[in-house]
Amino acid sequence: MIENLLLIFTTSILVSFFVRKNKQLSKAVILTALLVTGILSLTHDPASHYLDALSAFLIAFCLLSSLPLIVYSKESWEKLVLYETIIFSCFLLSFSENFFLFYVLFETIIISSSIAVYNATKESLKAAEKYLIINLLGSTLTMTGIALNFSYTSSLNPTSTTPLLIAILILMGLIVKSALFPFHVWLPDVYSSSSIPTAAVFSGIIINLGFFGIFKYANFIQARPLLLVLAAASMLYAGIRGLTEWDIRKLIAYSSIIHVGYITLGISAAISQAPALLHMFNHGIAKTLMFLSLGLITTRTSFTDLRKLKGYARNIAGACFLISVLAVAGIPPTNCFVSEVAIIVSVLDSGKIIPVAVMLASYLLAMIFYLRIIYFLFFSKGKSKKIIKKYSWKKLLPVLFLTVLVLIFGIFPSALFKFSEAAAGFIPAL
């Protein structure tokens, strides 16, 4: 099975290399390869490999949030191959059988994504370096944790006998990748200096990889208080920091940090892990939509300052962007609303009120800066010469697709909710 996937992967890279002059064709090759590998890994025989509902959920998430982005991207062959590597590694990592394999794929993604960040500007080089250094330090700690764990329990996977210190070491790399509070510093830079599809990959998939690890291997019950504190700190910090930020991409980064906080809260304080899993899915899709539609809105400008983008979003892409902002703000009938309510209810069911109060406080703070985005992009009157009225359908299609997804998962949450509950049944509690 794995060898088939690898074969398809390498063949697609080779083929697309030979036809790289024809951008459309090479993109189509890569897209087909991803689609085929994704569907193959979703449908292959569960007996032969470690594919359970959880892996299927993660793979479905990667597929849904990554394919629109490949369709959207108009970048060079190299970038597309980097995206393909990242997403393909995500597939493999979703049904990996042991934590060491997970770690190797995790490293692959860190390195390939840091290359993807670089796009020939000084800022992006700085951001890529920052991202690479911080994440490699984190995953070195994880590696140390794995080694210590192996010598202690003679198992590659973390087990329930893993001591707290080793558990924290193992969690370290995952936390850094998820950009929780003290380790979030790389995120705003990466979001603001990379190209739009790269930022979308980061906000949709890469930021959630840490949670993949926690859900699949490292769900330590004893480390939950630590996670809870980090979650509360990230929600409050990002909520307050976002108030003074004018760069729209950095604002999106702070909103990501807040949502990472929500997910971590769902992991560490709720009765069931299903709401956190669901919110990871919903937030990933909404953020991908947010970046792609932002890309359409700012096609002809290089500004990211809100004050210079006055009234830019009064068109079809703006409507999609508005829906993504409403989703991220947790306003019905969008998908994030459902999962946020599920997290709140689940945490309250376990009898914890203070974390929910913190979450709602950050929800309010975030509401203020979402409102500012809406205000400047839609209602301020600026020079409206640069507003684009018509887009090529190739760029608009993925954005519309994601918009429909956001609305459908918001209005008919039942199926996805069931799926996430089935998946949560496979999350180990250590």
Partner 1 sequence: MLWLVIIIPLLASILCLIKEKRIKKNLHLILSASMLLSLLILVLHYPSKPIIETIEWAPDFGLNLAFLVDWLSYPFLAMILLVSGISIYYSKAYLQEQKNKQLYYFLTGLFTVSMIGVVLSVNLITFYLFWDVMLVASYFLVVEWGEEKAREIGLKYFIYMAVASTSLLLGIGLFHASTDSFNLLEAKTAPAIVFLPLMISFLIKQGVFPFHDWLPDTHSVAPTPISAMLSGLMVNVGGYALLRVSSLFPEVMKTYSTTLIIIALISLYLGALMVFRQTHLKKAIAWSTVSQGGMIVFGAGALTLYALKGAGFHLVTQALTKSLLFLVAGVIIYATGTKKIDEIKGLYRKNPILTIAFFASILSLAGTPFFAAFQSEVLIFLGGLNYLAADLLLIFGSLLTLGYCLWFAHSMFFASGKTKFKKIRNEMLTTLIILTGLIIIVGVYPNILMVW
C-alpha distance from residue 235 to each of 100, 261, 324 (Å)? 31, 5, 20
In angstroms, the CA 229 to CA 232 distance is 5
Phi-psi sector, 219: left (phi>0), alpha (psi -120 to 50), beta: beta
| Shortest spacing between CB 318 and partner 1, in angstroms | 13
Considering the complex, state which of residue 51 and residue 317 has its C-beta at the smaller distance from partner 1. 317
Residues of this chain that bind partner 1 (CB under 8 A)? 326, 331-333, 337-338, 341-342, 344-345, 347-349, 351, 353, 356-357, 360, 363-364, 367-368, 371, 375, 379-380, 412-414, 417-418, 421
| Shortest spacing between CB 347 and partner 1, in angstroms | 8
The sign of the CA dihedral 78, 106, 190, 126 is: negative
In angstroms, the CA 246 to CA 369 distance is 9
Q: Taking the CB of residue 245, how many other CB atoms lie within 10 A of it?
A: 18
Considering the complex, state which of residue 18 and residue 375 has its C-beta at the smaller distance from partner 1. 375
Considering the complex, state which of residue 101 and residue 319 has its C-beta at the smaller distance from partner 1. 319
What crossing angle do the helices spanning 53-72 and 196-204 adopt, rounded to 10°? 170
Considering the complex, state which of residue 63 and residue 359 has its C-beta at the smaller distance from partner 1. 359
| Shortest spacing between CB 377 and partner 1, in angstroms | 13
Considering the complex, state which of residue 20 and residue 310 has its C-beta at the smaller distance from partner 1. 310
| Shortest spacing between CB 368 and partner 1, in angstroms | 6
| Shortest spacing between CB 281 and partner 1, in angstroms | 14
User: Which of 32, 209, 230 is CA-nearest to residue 135?
Assistant: 209
Considering the complex, state which of residue 106 and residue 376 has its C-beta at the smaller distance from partner 1. 376
CB 394 within 8 A of CB 27: no
Considering the complex, state which of residue 226 and residue 319 has its C-beta at the smaller distance from partner 1. 319
Considering the complex, state which of residue 40 and residue 345 has its C-beta at the smaller distance from partner 1. 345
CB 149 within 8 A of CB 155: yes
**Who contacts 351 (Cβ-Cβ below 8 Å, separation ≥6)?**
none
| Shortest spacing between CB 310 and partner 1, in angstroms | 11
In angstroms, the CA 285 to CA 203 distance is 9
CB 215 within 8 A of CB 273: yes
- DSSP, collapsed to helix, strand or coil, labels residue 61 as helix
| Shortest spacing between CB 219 and partner 1, in angstroms | 23
Helix (H), strand (E), coil (C) string for 106-120: HHHHHHHHHHHHCCC
CB-neighbour burial class of residue 384 (10 A; exposed 0-12, middle 13-18, buried 19+): exposed
| Shortest spacing between CB 269 and partner 1, in angstroms | 12
